[in-house]
Structure 1
Amino acid sequence: MATAVETLGKLERRITISFPLTDVRTEVEKRLKVQARTAKAPGFRPGKVPLKMVAAQYGYQIESEVLNDKVGRAFNDAANENNLRVAGFPNIVPKEEAAEGQLAFDATFEVYPEVAIGDLTTVELETVQAEVSEAEIDKTIDILRKQRVHFHTKGEAGEHGDGGEAVAANGDRVTVDFVGSIDGVEFPGGKADGYAFVLGEGRMLPEFEAATVGLKVGEAKTFPLAFPEDYHGKDVAGKTASFTITLQKLEWAHLPEVDAEFAKSLGVADGDLAKMREDIKVNLQREVAGRVKARNKEAVMDALIKVAELEVPKTLIAQDSERLAEMTRQDMAQRGMNVKDVPFPAELFAEKAERRVRLGLILSQLVGDNNLQATPEQVKAQIEDFAQSYEDPREVLKYYYSDRRRLGEIEALVLEENVVTYVLGLSKVTSKAVAFDELMGSNAQA
């Protein structure tokens, strides 16, 4: 039995549910008898353990299961009878006062809000577009060359030359021994032997790199180094250390020539440079299209948040905050970080969770009102598009269609694109061109 629904706030509701204590006892006894058929205890054959011993061993667990089942069923029945769309999970607590022979519980919960979406024809949106020019292809080739760099002893004649004067310069890979001290005392992490890095890449503090430039193998230099106030090593942050470095090895960088062998290393079997450039262009265009789509999607989502009015259930925000915290923990663990004892307070993710939940409710409303669900044809087309960049597209199709969860991720992506297309079709859209570097440097996320 359930009482009438009480309204505690805009979304918060409460129902009191109750049922006879005898119903619980009857169900507990029934389940204990079932448990007794297979129960084991020293000195008894399986199934011959006295019911009192079975009750002593399993009674608490079974009673908890029965209560959870009955309370859950009673709550679901009450929610259905009152046509309530419950958001998240209810908070159910026993009532201190209940009629004789009855068990009573208060179930406090939130319901899904009404979502009011404003006039989309009045929305002004700015989308972006970008082109891939020959200059971008050249830049990409330079990056690919740097990824395939070879280092040779500087000043020593070889197949590719000697690299010039054997003096450390930006672009060279240096191997050094160093030791640092503060007030004459060495500090943890301030000493290393055989430490290698490339000058000019910014891996070391500017003073450290500047002191290394100009050294020859075997030479040493002592110099002061001021650690920034926000330096990750708290023991030395904001302090000035004295470092001595000794150059042990000096190598110059040889970039591969852009020739047939280079093209073959990129997967162009016949080494055709024109084909290599075309492949790079196609890949860049695919990447640009993805970035443009993400930027435009973000613009649409921002507009929807502004034009829609709704209350966001706190329960859903809390649940998504916990989900984001756990996802972050797993991601960091997969990257090799030890996060076993690192706290991940869900509150840190509340703002992002609130946006995600809000958008989810808005999108759900738009999809339902305008029949924007993902069709099987759209899902297949999206997977085939993903598969283009893989060596065996059939394996990609198999990967998604063999797992309902993975397929659901694609369906959600297509659904969002349907919403974006729908909103762009109604709103006032202006488009602007953005530079390739600006677009590729952005991290638009909706």
Structure 2
Amino acid sequence: LEKLERKITLTLPVETIKNEVDARLRKLARTVRMDGFRPGKVPISIVTQQYGYSVQYEVMNDKVGEAFFSAANEANLRVAGQPTITEAEGAPEGQVSFDAVFEVFPDVKIGDLATAEIERLSADVGDEAIDRTIEILRKQRRSFAQRAKDAAAADDDRVTVDFVGKIDGEPFEGGKAEDFQFVIGEGQMLKEFEDAVRGMKAGESKTFPLAFPEDYHGKDVAGKTADFMVTVNKIEAAHLPEVNEQLAKSLGVKDGSVEGLRADIRQNLEREVRFRLNQRNKQAVMDALVAKSELDLPKSSVQAELDRMVESARADLKARGIKDVEKLPIPEDSFRPQAEQRVRLGLVVAELVKAHELQAKPEQIKAQVEELAASYEKPDEVVRYYYADNRRLADVEAMVIESNVTDYVLGQAKVTDKKLGFDELMGQQPG
């Protein structure tokens, strides 16, 4: 038919179907229970009257299915998805005919990978990144102590305030709080609010205007200006723990040394850097691989991927507490480009793996599991967790295959190396 669509006409002897139906009804008669009859003593005519249609339907499905897959195998067809089967007219006497319309997987043509141009990224973990991580860890373990009465609120101080806001003289929802705490300079409050409180002393009050941004999450106040009155009840200064053995021990460093702490942080950051680089380099490889490939997409495979994506979206909405998600219309066309790309990539990768024997080896899967487990407190338990479930291992196997494909393509293509700064890779701003 068109592109990947095919049709097979299947012809089956009516006698074969009848014999199978009779055999199944006789078997059913031995176990079926009906009022007024002892088990196994129900007349076959009554069993046929009660169950004949469903058994006939079941046998037809089985026999047509067997005939279809036998014919497809004989013709060396790789069937994609399920066939659509309809009864055909004009069958010879004593026969019944069916048309099976289906799709086959495409021939995948992968072009010359030596002409593919790929940018391979790399990055290092320097002392500055470790220093910043230590500062984050110190902040997470900070304590607060009340400042002197005449001290003015400054950045990094925790303030406790009462406030009330009004728009056109009217209070609004979320515009009032008592004994509300926030740390100045951390962006918990809008900048104008922080600017107003900065420099105030305990016991002081102030009135100031605050313009809510147009894209503010509270739609009722977005784009409007409110008048706020704020009173500072308490100002507390932050105290960060010293970088010493006590901090190292509290963070679980085995030898309790600052050097051990820095080594642990470096190891964790290098693991995260390696993961991010692998993801980005793999994506660059996959994009290049797809660009060098020619194939038609089986509609059935795309539809199956669309169904999975829509179902995943529903599950995500349900997990967020959205009610009646089954009734929500989720337009599958919004997922179509991504679904088509996933199917295309899956077929291209499968072809490359088959052609160049890039399957995952047991030792590679083991090494990947150990890498995933290394960041946990009890790695051995995580390793057992993966090996206890074949589906989890299959996910790891897919990761290894993608790595094998990535390495293979990088070995064939024109590769340009580019070094990224740590902050650029991690999406951080220095300071």
TM-score, normalization by structure 2:
0.84
Match of 2:134 among 130, 141, 161: 141
How far does the alpha carbon of each residue in 1:232-284 deviate from its partner, in whole angstroms, 9 at most, with x for none? 44444444444444445543332211111101011124421112111211222
Q: Is the 8 A contact 1:329 1:339 kept in 2?
A: no
Match of 1:76 among 52, 63, 69: 69
Query: Is 1:302 aligned to residue 291 of structure 2?
Result: no
Query: Is 1:437 aligned to residue 423 of structure 2?
Result: yes
Q: State the distance in 2 between where 1:299 and 1:89 align.
A: 33
Q: Which runs of 5+ in 2 are unaligned?
A: none
Structure 2 CA distance for partners of 1:98 and 1:282, relative to 1, 3 Å: same
Equivalent residue runs for 1:20-419 within 5 Å: 27-28=20-21, 30-40=23-33, 46-47=39-40, 62-90=55-83, 92=84, 94-95=86-87, 97=89, 99=91, 105-155=98-148, 165-167=151-153, 169-331=154-316, 336-338=320-322, 340-341=324-325, 343-419=329-405
The one-letter code matched in structure 2 to 1:297 is: K
More displaced 10-residue stretch of structure 1: 22-31 or 198-207? 22-31
Report the aligned-residue RMSD.
Answer: 3.3
3-state SS of 1:297 partner: helix
Structure 2 CA distance for partners of 1:245 and 1:26, relative to 1, 3 Å: farther
Structure 2 CA distance for partners of 1:94 and 1:166, relative to 1, 3 Å: same
TM-fit CA distance, 1:393: 3.4
Q: Which runs of 5+ in 1 are unaligned?
A: 1-6, 157-163
Structure 2 CA distance for partners of 1:11 and 1:237, relative to 1, 3 Å: farther
Match of 1:420 among 395, 406, 428: 406
Q: State the distance in 2 between where 1:337 and 1:278 align.
A: 42
The one-letter code matched in structure 2 to 1:258 is: V
TM-fit CA distance, 1:107: 3.3
Q: State the distance in 1 between where 2:365 and 2:117 align.
A: 29
Q: Is the 8 A contact 2:33 2:40 kept in 1?
A: yes
Q: State the distance in 2 between where 1:357 and 1:301 align.
A: 12
Q: State the distance in 1 between where 2:167 and 2:85 align.
A: 60
Paired residues in the alignment total 425
3-state SS of 1:413 partner: helix
Percent identity among equivalent residues?
56
How far does the alpha carbon of each residue in 1:313-363 deviate from its partner, in whole angstroms, 9 at most, with x for none? 2322222232233334445655x5446525544333222222222111111
Structure 2 CA distance for partners of 1:254 and 1:15, relative to 1, 3 Å: farther
More displaced 10-residue stretch of structure 1: 423-432 or 320-329? 320-329
3-state SS of 1:422 partner: helix
TM-fit CA distance, 1:109: 2.5
TM-score, normalization by structure 1:
0.82
TM-fit CA distance, 1:144: 1.2
Structure 2 CA distance for partners of 1:321 and 1:187, relative to 1, 3 Å: farther
Q: State the distance in 2 between where 1:108 and 1:365 align.
A: 25
Q: Is the 8 A contact 2:111 2:293 kept in 1?
A: yes
Q: State the distance in 2 between where 1:22 and 1:245 align.
A: 91
